Each structure stands twice: as structure tokens, then as C-alpha cells.
Amino acid sequence: MKAEIRKQAQTLGFDACQFTSAEPPPHSEQFQQWLVGGKHGEMQYLHRNSFKRVAPDRVLPGARSIITLATSYSRGSDDQELDHSIGGSRDCRESAGVVARYARFSDYHDIIGERLKELAAYVTQLAGGSRSLWYVDTGPLLERDLAQRAGLGFIGKHTNLISRTLGNWIFISEIITTLELPPDAPERNRCGTCVRCLTACPTAAITAPFELDARRCISYLTIELKGSIPVEFRRAIGNRIYGCDDCLAVCPWNRFAREGSLMKSHRRPELDQVELLELLSLDDTAFKKRFAGSPILRTKRRGLLRNVCVALGNVADESALPALQRMLLEPEPLIQEHAYWAIQEIERRTALTTAAESPS
């Protein structure tokens, strides 16, 4: 039966399919300690359903097995050309903002969800009377923990899942089912002495191997955080306007990354680089039209323009000042605040440059 499920998963476009039991995840206690330490920031949903995350049978009563799946969003040989982010303290004259690689496609929740729904129905058909639930980064499961126990990959020091055959440019999804299936062997950690991801993190969010303080993470700050970005992290954000890939991009296991078939046709090339000043001109209607079907809609206009202002503050020159000054008239206080910060940063850099260029 596992072979049939794997074959169907491959037919539907998944790049890997592994199986584990519905027993509690191995790192349940560490997860609870992480929450107690407040390292989840404002992601209160993690706290609210934590009792389910540590006990899959609370998600689906009678659960016996979990099918874990990987979908590659690598772009193969193009991967190296996608690193456009600029370190926050560099005095660069750039007009483009950087979007995390996973968001340069149509929303993966919808794309993978359609295929998962089909696969879950297939599993139910194989074993009449069984029940299943499927999730794409949306369910109360410690999915990376379960994926490692299923042998799908191993959790790296950056706390993301790494596949020996796909690298770490992968989406994880799962089907939890009352059907009992023999579990696969777990994967062991294969990071060795490598600490590239820790060194690469612009905000030192990876506080130790396998430990992430989300409150410092640029992905959290630009996506999950709904209010003001703490001033101490703004320069480190550079020209990133939605997420950050730095810890993933340096992983040496990416030499095995390969382009997946499922996501390939859903690329959004216009998101490889986006013009920062153009984004400032978007009203709410234009924002929704511009990013329809994209994960970027999650930030809403106020969140994205907050991020754009920070990016301009880090990389723009005086030519961006008129647009930023217009943002001071915005009815949204969040945008006003970050536009004011950006103006101050540009004026500070301009003054330093002028002083350096002046004759002694």
C-alpha cells in the first residue's frame, strides 16, 4: 500500500513521500520550552494549539500514521542568480527589493493543497473506512520533527528541513490518517561541523545550533510581525521586503537541489526583483491586484509598504525622498513611522557622503 501511495504522490507532482507513526514528535518538550521562552514572538497561534502539536491524535482522533511529502521549489541552475539581497549597513544605490524564493511563485498553499486533497482521497479509497486530514504548513503539527522521523530529511542547524536529495528549497506537507502504515526509518542529522547558516544570519536569529529566536528573524519581522519593526534590526534587513533566504542559501546540501515539476509552471518572474518606488505608489486595490494569488498578500498593503520603506532607508539615495515624504501623509501610522525612519537614514548617509567628498 505504501508503494501505491508513493506512486500516486509522484504522479501528482510530489518530489518525495515518506511515512511515520502518529506518535508524539521527538522534540515536543523542546517546543514547549521554546514557547515558554517567548521565542515565537507574536505568533500566538503556535501557543493556542500547542497541545495538538505535541499529540497528533488530538488533531485527528484515532490517527495511526502520517504521510510526509516534499515539494521542491528550487530553480536548478538559476538558484545562484537569485541572491540579490544587500547587507543592511552597506551604502548601496539599488532600486530593487528582494522577495524570499518561495514567494516568487503563486501561493504554494493553493497549489500543493489541490494535489494533497487528491492524494488524501486516494488514501481513503485504498482503505475504505479510514479518515484523513491534510495540511500544507497550516495544521497544528510539528511538521519538521515528523518529517525527520519519517526520513524525509533532517532538521539543520538553521531549524529548517534539509533533504539529501533535494537540498532545503522544499515545501513540507502531510496527510494524517487513521490508516496504519509501517513507518520508514528516521533520518539522522548530517550537518557535521558546518555552521554556515549561523554565520550567514543577518540578525543572529539562530542563537545556537538548532535554536531560532523568531523575534530576531527577518522572515518573522517582514511577514509575521504586524506592528513596527524594532529599530535595532532595520538596517540588517537591507533590501529584503518579504522574508529572507540567507541561512538556506548557504547550505552546502543545496548542491543536490533539483527543480521540481509541480511548482515550475507557477513561477512569478516579476517577483524576482521588484521596484521599490513602484510599490510605494500602490493603493489597496492596486496592491491586491498586483499580488493576487501570491503569498505576499499575507502582509497586507500596510505591512509590505512598511517593509519597502525600511528597504529604501537602507539602499536608496536622495531620489527616493519625494516618494517617502508622500508616505508621511499616509493615513496608516505604521507606514508613516517607517517612512520617517527611511528619510532620516537617507539624509544621514547623504550627509556622510558629502562630508567625505568635501576637501579638507
C-alpha grid cell, residue 175: 496527510
Q: In sequence order, what are the residues at sequence separation of 6 or more whose Cβ sits closer than 8 angstroms to the Cβ of residue 188?
A: 154
Rounded distance, CA 338 to CA 324, Å? Answer: 9
In 3D, which of 264, 253, 75, 74 has the Cα closest to residue 165? 253
The H-assigned helical ranges of 179-245 are 196-200, 218-219, 231-237
Dihedral sign, CA of 114, 117, 123, 125? negative
Beta-sheet strands, E only, within the chain: 16-21, 65-72, 96-99, 132-135, 154-155, 161-162, 170-177, 206-208, 211-212, 240-242, 274-275
First-last CA distance in the chain: 80
C-alpha grid cell, residue 338: 517607517
Q: What is the pLDDT of residue 92?
A: 41
Q: In sequence order, what are the residues at sequence separation of 6 or more whose Cβ sits closer than 8 angstroms to the Cβ of residue 33?
A: none
**Buried/exposed code over 285-297 (b: 16+ C-beta within 10 A; e: otherwise):** eebeebbeebbbe
Q: What is the 8-class DSSP label of residue 163?
A: B
317 assigned to active site: no
Burial of 68 (0-12, 13-18, 19+ CB in 10 A): buried
pTM: 0.93
Catalytic residue of the set 15, 78, 91, 137: 137
Look up cell 537541489; give the residue.
257
Q: What is the pLDDT of residue 90?
A: 39
Q: Which residues of the chain have pLDDT under 50?
A: 88-93
Q: Coil, strand or helix: which one is 4?
A: helix
